[in-house]
Amino acid sequence: MNKKNLDICSNLVRTFDYENYLCALFSPKEVRSCFFAIRAFNVEVAGIREKISDPNIGLMKIQWWKDQISNTFKGKPPNHHVTLLLAESLETSNLSINWFNRILNERAENLNDPQYNTLEELENYAENTSSSLLYLQLEALGLKNVTTDHVASHIGKAVGISTIIRATPYHVRERRFYLPTQIAAKVRNDFKLSTESVFRTGPSSELSDVVFDVATCANDHLITARSQAPKLSKQAIPGLLNIVFFKFY
């Protein structure tokens, strides 16, 4: 194992994804570098949107990652700390390239700051990003079965949705709003919210109502995951540890 690549990737995760850095430290030693490669990959691609002003530039960057992930799985990784560490991990871990491409495709879709209309659309985003990362971590642990993937799907959706909620203040400052318009626009006890009003006035009781409804969806996924947790093997726990950072009421 090339310690330099591992150090770069682990430091990248520690700096930009500290919660999952801590979780990786509790993974079995033999797969820890693979966890860091997966999470460092996510840091790199998730950060593309924040670094570009032209979506076309973002698409070029994502296409570069698609090409290089493909080359890495073919045994020809480019000279990049993430792909080099991933290439070493593939020698002992049976990861699926489909999950990487699924993440990249979803990130490409989001370069134009789409407004999600429904909770289902937001759930789909969370499934393609957060859940896909969990599937990869479970594969690193040697786990591929319906029950484990079912739990990972619900945990990923809970984490992905709650991450969007947590980032809403930052997104609003950037004039971006990802909470579903179907919820924001519904009328219930004069509860109606427009995206422009969020940009103009910021926090409001109406925004709190929207956040509550979206958080309830995340909580429902967490409840479902917990109901299935007794069926999991102990081997799966390190791959799903990031749920401990998300608490819903």
* Residue located via tokens 């979506």: 55
Give me the percent of the chain exceeding a pLDDT of 70. 95
When pLDDT is averaged across residues 110-131 and rounded to a whole number, the result is 94
Using CA atoms, how far apart are residues 231 and 145, in angstroms rounded to an integer? Answer: 11
Which one of 3.40.50.300, 2.70.98.60, 1.10.600.10, 3.40.50.1390 gives the CATH number of domain 113-249? 1.10.600.10
Contacts of 166 (CB under 8 A, 6+ apart): none
* Residue located via tokens 């080099």: 84
Q: What is the pLDDT of residue 53?
A: 86
Residue 171 burial (CB count, 10 A)? 15
Neighbour-count burial of 74, counting CB atoms closer than 10 A to its CB (0-12 exposed, 13-18 middle, 19+ buried) = exposed
* Tens digits of residue pLDDT in 166-195: 999 999 999 999 999 888 777 455 567 788
- Residue ranges covered by each domain of the chain: 1-97+107-112, 113-249
Neighbour-count burial of 196, counting CB atoms closer than 10 A to its CB (0-12 exposed, 13-18 middle, 19+ buried) = exposed
> In this model, does residue 249 exceed pLDDT 50?
no
Rounded to two decimals, the pTM is 0.93
DSSP for 53-81 reads: SSHHHHHHHHHHHHHHHHHHHTT---S-H
- 31, 45, 135, 12: which is closest to 91 by C-alpha? 31
